[in-house]
Amino acid sequence: MCSVAYDYQILKLSDLFYQAYPHSKYREILIKNTRSYNCLLLQTHYDYFICIPYRTEINHNYAFLFTATKRSRSHKSGLDYTKIIIIKNPVYLDSATIALIDKDEYIETVKNIDKISHSAMEFVEDYVNHHSGLSLLHPSEYRRRYQYSSLQYFHPELNL
């Protein structure tokens, strides 16, 4: 198995993103009391970026869960694939605001970037393949993975 180098950074989504995708209409996009989540931004070989939010509590298996961080001792914290945001427009990325995460979470993210990137891409590609008819998931498997997914709002970006 060859290792793929991924370009990534940790940032927040811009106010313009949240104006374009208001919570009242896009309920599965995360927002926390008028402040955005910190996200791991991955560059893909497609014409979009994948933005995976860091979360304190994740209650499903479609995520990268931290195991070696202080927060993970009392919470199921990690990167939530079900809340992935697809970004094509760079104005939706907030490069002016510093996105801060705990140092131990940053270290665990960097150590596992290949695994996280591969799993996130697979999660998105399974969704695309299902919706394009290339590889249909069983209805119960689809519901388990994608019922509360934010990917439903990004069909144009995913060419669906």
Give me the DSSP letters along 29-97: S--BTTBPPEEEEEE-SSSSEEEEEEES---SSSEEE-SSSTGGGTS--EEEGGG-EEE--GGGEE-SS
Boundaries of domain holding 41: 8-153
Residue 159 lies in a domain: no
Residue 160 lies in a domain: no
> What confidence tens digit (pLDDT) does each residue in 55-88 have?
999 999 999 999 989 999 999 999 999 999 999 9
> What confidence tens digit (pLDDT) does each residue in 84-96 have?
999 999 999 998 8
- Give the CATH number of the domain where residue 41 resides: 3.10.129
Count of domains forming the chain: 1
Residue 101 lies in a domain: yes
- DSSP tag of 146: H
Cβ atoms of 153 and 29 within 8 Å: the answer is yes
* pLDDT given at position 3: 43
Residue 26 lies in a domain: yes
